[in-house]
A = this chain, B = another copy of it.
Amino acid sequence: MAGARLDPIDRKILAELQADGRMTNVELAKRVGISAPPCLRRVRTLEDAGLIKGYHADVDARELGFEVQVFAMVGLASQAESDLSAFEERCRAWPLVRECHMLNGEVDFILKCVAPDLSSFQSFLTGHLLTTPNVASVKTSLVIRGAKDDPGVPFDVLEARLQTSA
Contacts and interface: CB of A to CB of B under 8 A. Distances in A.
Interface string A132-161: 000000000111111111111110111001
A141 B110 contact: yes
B14 A59 contact: yes
Nearest to A106: B141
Contact of A99 (B6, B88, B150): B150
Nearest to A140: B105
How many copies of the polypeptide does the oligomer hold?
A: 2
Nearest to A110: B71
A144 B103 contact: yes
A20 interface: yes
A61 interface: yes
Interface in A95-114: 95-105, 107, 109-110, 114
A103 to B, nearest CB: 4
Contact of A105 (B22, B102, B120, B141): B141
12 contacts: A1-B65, A2-B65, A17-B59, A20-B55, A50-B60, A54-B58, A56-B152, A66-B158, A101-B144, A102-B143, A104-B141, A120-B161
Given A96-B154, A110-B141, 16 more contacts: A2-B67, A14-B59, A21-B22, A49-B63, A52-B59, A53-B59, A54-B57, A55-B55, A58-B152, A65-B161, A71-B101, A71-B103, A88-B147, A102-B144, A116-B158, A120-B161
